[in-house]
Chain A
């Protein structure tokens, strides 16, 4: 089978990096076209191509790892490094928005009334739905850990149950947050308060949706017996990402919802 003298994975040529680059180009230029010429066609095309690329690229990785056995321990180590570095980059992404929030809120300008929250802004009560959201995400952190231990102990039914519960909690968070967005007394256009609030929590919500999708893919794979009790890095990566999303929410809650109210 292998004529290589090393345990690494020399990947076969693949079209997905190219289609991904083209999709990114179409999405970004499509965004500009939408802004200026009111047509969403290019952007939609870019979005569809992006989704197709992601589906096929990750499907190929699953084929290479689970079905062909290319993910030896050194390869898995590299994948771990990769996921950690990616999550680190996302941490920096959110750090920027927290910086923006604290820049504006620690020294509120006279235009805002010299106070935070600015004059006229009615902030959300941190001890109502936002607190429930915090409990939901913390609980989902527990259930995803339960799922991990179930996998390691070879318990198929419990893994499926706890993983499904984690995903449901993620959906519950998203639904609650969507309702909050709809009912909020302020909008993104309401000065720097609105901007920092909706951009920071909005990107967080997007990451919750991404994390839930990742976990859902893991659930489908688990049902199809992809994971073994020792080797289930796809699940671990999803769980790391989910914990990261949870931690970002905790910072959001404490900074924007609680201190900022």
Chain B
């Protein structure tokens, strides 16, 4: 069973790596190498080579996303969400910035009829069609 608010993602790996590798892998026409993974490559900054690094110069939302990925969080849901069993013990965790959020449940794979319902804060609710458990969890946006 899948939920429609989930995104698709590429390969596994560290979060920062996935963020940059996915975008870097688009360089189909380019013969040469990809951008280095910030967590691993020893990138010299403004002081030595003369070209700033993202750590030094990123600003705005890009900086917020970068800082969060270094901490291992994904506040803007860039990556594919975690898979849950959907049982009472392991409900689907639905982050929300308010106290309710719409959920679309694709009860079985390839179902074309999506079951939509409001999920409210508090106890876990069940999908009216397949009975999977969903729980709303408050989600803070870095501002």
Q: Decide if B58 is an interface residue (CB 8 Å cutoff).
A: yes
Secondary structure of the B contact surface, majority rule: loop
Tell me the nearest residue of chain A to B7, going by C-beta. Answer: A74
Q: CA A74 – CA B23 in complex, angstroms?
A: 7
Q: Which of B49, B65, B78 contacts A156 (CB 8 A)?
A: B49
Whether B65 and A80, one on each chain, are in contact in the complex, defined by CB atoms closer than 8 angstroms, is: no
> B51 contacts which chain A residues (CB < 8 A)?
151, 154-156, 159, 225, 227-229
B81 to chain A, nearest CB (A): 13
Whether A7 and B61, one on each chain, are in contact in the complex, defined by CB atoms closer than 8 angstroms, is: yes
Whether B52 and A69, one on each chain, are in contact in the complex, defined by CB atoms closer than 8 angstroms, is: no
22 pairs, A vs B, C-beta closer than 8 Å: A5-B76, A5-B77, A5-B139, A5-B141, A7-B61, A69-B60, A69-B62, A69-B63, A72-B65, A73-B20, A74-B23, A77-B22, A84-B28, A154-B51, A156-B51, A227-B51, A228-B54, A228-B56, A229-B52, A231-B58, A231-B62, A236-B30
The stretch from A36-44, A173-181, A183-191, A239-247 touching chain B is: A239-247
Interface residues of B (CB under 8 A from A): 19-20, 22-23, 26-33, 35-36, 38, 43-46, 48-54, 56-65, 76-78, 97, 139, 141, 143
- B27, B46, B62: which has the most chain A beta carbons within 10 Å? B62
Q: CA A81 – CA B56 in complex, angstroms?
A: 27
Given contacts A7-B61, A80-B23, contact A152 B36 (CB under 8 A): yes
Tell me the nearest residue of chain A to B63, going by C-beta. Answer: A69
Q: Which of A3, A151, A230, A239 contacts B30 (CB 8 A)?
A: A239
Q: CA A244 – CA B59 in complex, angstroms?
A: 32
Interface 1/0 per residue, A135-166 and B, CB below 8 Å: 00000000001001101111111010000000
> A72 contacts which chain B residues (CB < 8 A)?
61-62, 65, 76, 78
Tell me the nearest residue of chain A to B49, going by C-beta. Answer: A154
Q: Decide if A250 is an interface residue (CB 8 Å cutoff).
A: no
Q: Which of B19, B26, B35, B63 contacts A152 (CB 8 A)?
A: B35
Whether A73 and B23, one on each chain, are in contact in the complex, defined by CB atoms closer than 8 angstroms, is: yes
Whether A73 and B48, one on each chain, are in contact in the complex, defined by CB atoms closer than 8 angstroms, is: no
> A69 contacts which chain B residues (CB < 8 A)?
58-63
> B48 contacts which chain A residues (CB < 8 A)?
154
Tell me the nearest residue of chain B to A69, going by C-beta. Answer: B60
Whether A157 and B30, one on each chain, are in contact in the complex, defined by CB atoms closer than 8 angstroms, is: no
Whether B38 and A230, one on each chain, are in contact in the complex, defined by CB atoms closer than 8 angstroms, is: yes
Q: Which of B57, B60, B141 contacts A228 (CB 8 A)?
A: B57
Tell me the nearest residue of chain B to A146, going by C-beta. Answer: B32
Whether B60 and A230, one on each chain, are in contact in the complex, defined by CB atoms closer than 8 angstroms, is: no
Interface residues of A in 222-261 (CB under 8 A from B): 225, 227-231, 236, 239-240, 243-244
Given contacts A5-B77, A77-B23, A236-B30, contact A229 B53 (CB under 8 A): yes
> A230 contacts which chain B residues (CB < 8 A)?
20, 35-36, 38, 43, 53-54
A12 to chain B, nearest CB (A): 14
Q: CA A73 – CA B48 in complex, angstroms?
A: 26
Whether A70 and B26, one on each chain, are in contact in the complex, defined by CB atoms closer than 8 angstroms, is: no
Whether A154 and B77, one on each chain, are in contact in the complex, defined by CB atoms closer than 8 angstroms, is: no
Q: CA A236 – CA B49 in complex, angstroms?
A: 20
> B32 contacts which chain A residues (CB < 8 A)?
145, 148-149
Nearest 6 CB-CB pairings of A with B: A69-B60, A156-B50, A154-B49, A80-B26, A69-B59, A7-B76
